[in-house]
Amino acid sequence: MKILLINGPNLNLLGRREKNIYGDQPFESYFKDLQAKYPQLELSYFQSNVEGELINQLHACGFSYDGIIINAGAYTHTSVALRDAIAGINTPVVEVHISNILTRENFRHESLIGPVCVGSIMGFGLDSYRLGVESFLKS
Query: Would residue 22 show up in a list of annotated catalytic residues for this protein?
Result: yes
Please check if 99 is assigned to a binding site: yes
Considering the candidates 22, 30, 45, 129, report the single residue annotated as catalytic: 22
Query: Would residue 97 show up in a list of annotated catalytic residues for this protein?
Result: yes
Asked if 87 contacts 112 with a C-beta cutoff of 8 angstroms, the reply is: no
Please check if 71 is assigned to a binding site: yes
Please check if 98 is assigned to a binding site: yes
| Max CA separation in the chain (angstroms) | 40
Please check if 21 is assigned to a binding site: no
Give which of 139, 83, 89 is closest to 116, Cα–Cα.
83
Considering the candidates 30, 45, 97, 129, report the single residue annotated as catalytic: 97
Cα–Cα distance for residue pair 24/75, rounded to 1 Å:
22
Cα–Cα distance for residue pair 76/32, rounded to 1 Å:
25
Please check if 108 is assigned to a binding site: yes
Please check if 59 is assigned to a binding site: no
Cα–Cα distance for residue pair 92/20, rounded to 1 Å:
31
Which of helix, strand or coil describes residue 71?
A: strand
Q: Which residues does the annotation place in the binding site for substrate?
A: 71, 77, 84, 98-99, 108
Annotated binding residues: 71, 77, 84, 98-99, 108
Catalytic positions, written as ranges: 22, 97
